[in-house]
């Protein structure tokens, strides 16, 4: 029996896109927060070894890249809006909410640069790797604005609180890191 291969369509892809989008925002936020914590001068904490935080950071970053692939795939396959495969990579030229779609593409492009330099970390200087890795902040901000502008659930209370929680977590981690660095400098 030879069954034709058909792709899912309709609300299944739309729900999958929405679901992967919000989970991806939370996961990406956790990756950024773990990155901030693992790079702070005092480490992630007294009771958590640095290798645990760094390992979680790397593994969750990989998981988020896989989930990002699913998010992009469902957006492209869903025929409700016209998002072409190259719209995921090119920050300009999108037909559906072009500014916000472009910010999602920009976030992806920056993530690709970060992932490639991380894969080549042993072959490039620490300074180059660190500077490119700092693009993760810009990528995360672009992803947040992408979510605000293109996310269909952003008007609901649960999505608003999730978004605010993500922003608060990154801001708190960054402020904590900055404070711990200032304390370390003032003690020395």
**Which is nearest to 54 in space by CA: 38, 42, 43?**
38
Query: Residue 5's pLDDT is what?
Result: 54
Query: Residue 13's pLDDT is what?
Result: 87
**Which is nearest to 170 in space by CA: 133, 144, 135?**
144
User: Distances in Å between the alpha carbon of 117 and those of 28, 31, 107?
Assistant: 18, 17, 16
Query: Residue 143's pLDDT is what?
Result: 97
**In b/e form, how buried is each residue of 101-119, taking b as 16+ CB within 10 angstroms?**
bbbbbbbbbbbeebeebee
Query: Residue 39's pLDDT is what?
Result: 76
Distance of alpha carbon 35 from its chain centroid, rounded? 12
In tens digits, the chain (188 residues) has pLDDT values of: 555 555 566 688 888 999 999 999 999 999 999 999 887 655 555 567 777 888 899 999 999 999 999 999 999 998 888 899 999 999 998 889 999 999 999 999 999 999 999 999 899 999 999 999 999 999 999 999 999 999 888 999 999 999 999 999 999 999 988 887 777 677 76
Q: Measure the CA–CA gap between 158 and 170, rounded to whole angstroms.
A: 19
Q: Measure the CA–CA gap between 99 and 186, rounded to whole angstroms.
A: 43
**Domain residue spans of the chain:** 11-183
Query: Residue 63's pLDDT is what?
Result: 95
Query: Residue 10's pLDDT is what?
Result: 65
**Phi and psi based region of residue 107 (left: phi greater than 0; alpha: psi -120 to 50; beta: remaining):** alpha
User: Distances in Å between the alpha carbon of 145 and those of 20, 105, 106?
Assistant: 16, 12, 11
């Amino acid at each position: 029996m030879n069954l034709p291969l058909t792709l899912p369509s309709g609300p299944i892809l739309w729900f999958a896109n929405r679901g992967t989008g919000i989970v991806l925002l939370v996961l990406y936020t956790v990756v950024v927060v773990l990155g901030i914590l693992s790079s702070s001068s005092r480490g992630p904490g007294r009771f958590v070894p640095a290798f645990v935080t760094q390992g979680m950071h790397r593994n969750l970053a990989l998981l988020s890249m896989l989930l990002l692939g699913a998010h992009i795939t469902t957006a492209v396959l869903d025929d409700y809006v016209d998002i072409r495969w190259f719209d995921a990579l090119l920050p300009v030229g999108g037909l559906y909410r072009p500014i916000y779609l472009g910010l999602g593409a920009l976030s992806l492009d920056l993530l690709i640069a970060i992932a490639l330099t991380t894969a080549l970390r042993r072959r490039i200087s620490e300074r180059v790797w660190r500077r490119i890795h700092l693009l993760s902040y810009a990528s995360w901000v672009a992803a947040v604005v992408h979510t605000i502008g293109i996310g269909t659930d952003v008007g609901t209370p649960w999505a608003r609180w999730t978004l605010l929680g993500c922003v608060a977590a990154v801001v708190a981690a960054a402020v904590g890191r900055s404070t711990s660095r200032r304390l370390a400098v003032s003690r020395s």
